[in-house]
Chain A
Amino acid sequence: MKLAQFAAVAAILFCAPAHADANKQGKAPWDDKFRQLEVDLPTPNTYRTASGAPGEAYWQQQADHVIMASLDENAKRITASETVTYKNNSPHTLTYAWFQLDQNQFKQDSVTRLTATATPGAAGADTVGYSTLRQLQSYADKPHGYEIKSVTDGAGKPLHYVINDTMMRVDLPSRLAPGKTQAFKIAWAFNIVDNNLFGGRSGYERFPENDTYIFFQAQWFPRMVAYTDYTGWQHKQFLGRGEFTLEFGNFDVSVTLPADHIMGATGVLQNPNEVLSAEQRSRLAQAKSKLDKPMYIVSPDEALANEKEGTTATKTWRWKAQNVRDFAWASSRKFIWDAMGVDQPEGADVLAQSFFPTEADPLWSLYSTRAVAHTIDVYSQFSFPYPYPTAISVNTWASGGMEYPMISFNGYRPVKDEKTGQKTYTRNAKYGLIGVVIHEVGHNYFPMIVNSDERQWTWMDEGLNSFLESMAEHLWEDEFPAGGPGVPNVLDVITSYMTSQEQVPVMTNSESVKQFGPNAYTKPTAALTVLRETVMGRELFDFAFKEYAKRWRFKRPTPADFFRTMEDASGTDLDWFWRGWFYTTDHVDVALTGMREYRLSSRDPNVENPLRRDRRNAATPLPPTVANNNAAGLQTYMDKHPDAKDFYNENDDLAVNNKDLNDYQGFLEGLKEPEKSVFERAMRENPFIYFVDFSNIGGLVSPLPLKFTYEDGTTKEIVIPAEIWRQNNEKVTKLFVETKKVTSIELDARHQIADADTSNNAFPQRSTPSRLELFRAQQPAGRNQMADALVELKAKEAPESLAAPITPAAPR
């Protein structure tokens, strides 16, 4: 800390700092971090307003579906037909309509498969896996993708159609005017893929131990391509990553299944009397008012007995769903089924349910349905009451998750010990399950209801949903995952990604995003966390976020609608924030680079001159020759002859003289109001004055949370808004006037701005050990148990290669 002094009060009050003009245009570099987004955002119009709300002429299409389907369990095949009633609410006349044929992703000649690249072997070697060969064998055995049997109008008259990979254009029999309706009838079939083999978001899972199956169907019927005000017909093919852009509609779906299957689906079951036993119906009725914990509709023992039998009889399950953008279902004779009621203070009651095989227990009975209920509770507080009557979690695979309206497919299972048969699960499997259920059920809000365009913008649903997931996890347990070492702070985790080079901005199309997880999930979560906890504060953020959710529920928002609503509803210009976090790859690294302390000068020579002498002495120690002479006890000539001393030996240049006293008196008499009162009061209060320098190293402008520690041990925290950077986004100096002496200032002490380098955040500077050094220092006796176990393991280990061995072929 540097100590200096002002010669005059006027210097503090009236000195004008020289500014670098960051906004200057011309040959100088121009980098205005606060430039308004108007030039980048689409022009507001009657469909989407400048406030971020839907406009007075907002429209979206409506697509109602009636579907009849049957599952051939032995052939693993779906055969179905549908009537789609399509209402043209746009102001445009349409001559053709596009359908989505997502199953065609699995066709052997699909763009997805043709553009897939090889996976690596050890040391970059060529390798081929059993799974690749099994896929090729599967293609040789049967076709994959949709087999479109017929496409007609409502009266059964064939319509001309053209299939373009995962999309199908159907030419309309006559022009479809605004406000008019067109019916389509389509019949199709497809062979269900083995999800273990092909991946994807649906299929079947086989349990080889007892040859049992779970079927989970999504992207299983030809769906309308979205027609929107901002892009017309959505024309990006399904390549496997960018998810779905869909229209709302009402569904009436009948699925014929083996009679012993239990089915869960989007919507409400219409014929329980035909497909459920009296006991199951009775339990289902009880579960609706069971609010504390789930109860079984099909118990584990009943499911185990059911899966052993099998039948050739069939039953048809009929479902209806209102105002949903998709329809998915799952069925199996393996399913355990539990349910509990969720009482919404401002909405209708919901039945939370889970369907899972015995392989998923005891984990799923304990947590899945409870996590469904918890999700609805927390997400509704941040958005709107859950509007659908059911919310379902189905265990369809070992890990991962996928969301659909009212139903989600989720992973995480215990591990079975082959020797004892006992099933146990790890802490990570438990919290993995709770996390995935919250995430996938949470997707009901974004994008199932707030219907963003997933094919274009992954972050709009994954980012917002991951943010709310983290809110719900923190509200599940203070320390989620509990029992672990500390609470994860997304703002610490994201910095490694944000400082990396190979990034694209969050505002990048789904198929072009690099580092999908950090970009579309974690970075938006971090951004919204900074926005809520640091930039806006909870009151402003929560109101604005909820306003966005309410404005766009059952509608289709774009990024601009989100950005504009958050500003409009909070009275906060956030263009700098969206620009930095969403449109650039800048990161946050702010540094506290200097701090200078000042006191006011009284100008009284009797007070000031001794202080100046002390400072001068402190700043200029005795030369080593003199100091060493003194230490050796050497006497100088003057020590030996004190009689030779005169006036100058007794008085240095800072001795107070009459001129000094007269100057001081003249200064006091020359002070006029208001300076006189200001000076006198400042003299009484005698504040400590600090000039603190900050540098913006990372480029992303950030608020500056500061923690002052005073000489008496007390502390004070303040947050300087990011607008401090608006005139100079590289370096700023801030004046602080304190009543107590400051001993240190720390920037971002609470890790609330995602600062990538905290080693430059304190004054006086603190030495920060590397993370590895810190880790080593925390180990008892400098030893890590893992390292000891590794030594044992290496001693025992037989060499084994995980890579596929390759033998050179004989030359031909």
Chain B
Amino acid sequence: MGAKLTRRLLVIGGAALAVAPAAFAHRSQSVLTLVNWNASTSKLEVIHRMHAHDAEVGIAKATRATAARDVDITQAKNQAKLMLYVEKHFSLMAPAGPIVLAAVGAELEAEAIVLYQEAKLAGPPAELTVENRILRDVFDQQTNLVNVKLAQKTRTLIFADKDGPKLAKDLL
């Protein structure tokens, strides 16, 4: 079977300009996300952990901010901007449909910013489709790792390069 050529007109967007060169020989850009099932509260808990300065660069790009006070991640309003950004760049889909994650809060942990989201569900889903584009439109070499642990086993998804949504199966 031959490859299919699809012709489309590609319009470049402003944000597409915002790809920063990779930082070499130092910390690599990565977001770590934990998706856990809390049986005692019957909630899906989502925790994103990313480097605070990466997050500030992300906010600056997403909101076109130019002043430190508009990106400083120690400020609640800027943490909210980051959460808004994450809501647009991270999603979960269960077999029954999309999971609507509610923002719980954010806190700083040393050099990292940690964001919390949750969703009340009847039970843990057997599989999840995860989409994770967090900061991948900001840093060329951004690589995101998602650990899904709804029962005993941890399932890991990695998002880099041209990765679209990915399916985590056999979660229970």
A residues lining the B interface (CB < 8 Å):
117-124, 126-131, 133, 195-201, 243, 397-403, 411-412, 414-419, 424-429, 431-432, 435-436, 439-440, 443, 462, 481, 484-488, 493, 496-497, 499-503, 514-518, 521, 770-773, 775-776, 779, 784-790, 792-794, 797, 801-809, 811-812
Contact = CB atoms under 8 A, between A and B. Distances in A.
- Name which of A431, A497, A787, A812 has the most chain B CB atoms within 10 A of its CB: A787
A131 B61 CA distance: 15
Contact of B76 (A131, A770, A785, A808): A785
A809 B8 contact: yes
A443 B25 CA distance: 9
B137 A802 contact: yes
Interface in B64-123: 65-69, 71-74, 76-77, 79-81, 83-84, 88-89, 103-112, 114, 116, 118
Contacts of A488: 109-112
Given A426-B71, A773-B41, A785-B76, A243 B19 contact: no
A124 B21 contact: no
A501 B171 CA distance: 13
B53 A399 contact: yes
A514 B23 CA distance: 17
Contact of A515 (B80, B88, B107, B143): B143
Nearest to B41: A773
B8 A130 contact: no
Interface string B38-49: 100101010101
A195 B21 contact: yes
A803 B15 contact: yes
B109 A428 contact: no
- Name which of B12, B24, B49 has the most chain A CB atoms within 10 A of its CB: B24
20 contacts: A118-B161, A120-B133, A124-B165, A415-B66, A424-B68, A428-B53, A428-B56, A485-B108, A496-B32, A497-B145, A501-B156, A521-B28, A771-B34, A772-B43, A776-B116, A787-B80, A790-B83, A792-B77, A793-B84, A806-B11
B80 A793 contact: yes
The interface residues of chain B, by DSSP majority, are classed as mixed
A500 B13 contact: no
B109 A804 contact: no
Contact of A400 (B22, B79, B116): B22
Given A129-B19, A415-B66, A496-B34, A775 B107 contact: yes
A402 B143 contact: no
Contacts of A806: 8-11
Contact of A487 (B8, B65, B110, B133): B110
A661 B167 CA distance: 73
A501 B155 contact: yes
A786 B79 contact: yes
B66 A401 contact: no
B1 interface: no
Nearest to A783: B105
Contacts of A786: 76, 79-80, 83, 103, 105-106
A462 B25 contact: yes
Given A400-B23, A415-B67, A484-B108, A518 B76 contact: no
Nearest to A473: B111
Nearest to A807: B9
A426 B165 contact: no
B111 A126 contact: no
Nearest to B165: A124
Contact of B118 (A419, A772, A788): A772
B147 to A, nearest CB: 5
B128 to A, nearest CB: 15
A56 to B, nearest CB: 34
In the complex, the 8 A-B pairs of residues with the closest C-beta atoms, listed nearest first: A124-B164, A400-B23, A784-B105, A199-B21, A488-B110, A517-B28, A129-B16, A804-B13
B3 interface: no
A28 to B, nearest CB: 24
A428 B29 CA distance: 15
B17 to A, nearest CB: 4
Contact of B30 (A425, A517, A790): A517
B68 A426 contact: yes
B27 A517 contact: yes
A458 to B, nearest CB: 9
A772 B84 contact: no
A804 B11 CA distance: 7
B84 A797 contact: yes
Given A439-B26, A497-B32, A786-B105, A414 B13 contact: no
Given A129-B19, A428-B73, A428-B111, A770 B13 contact: no
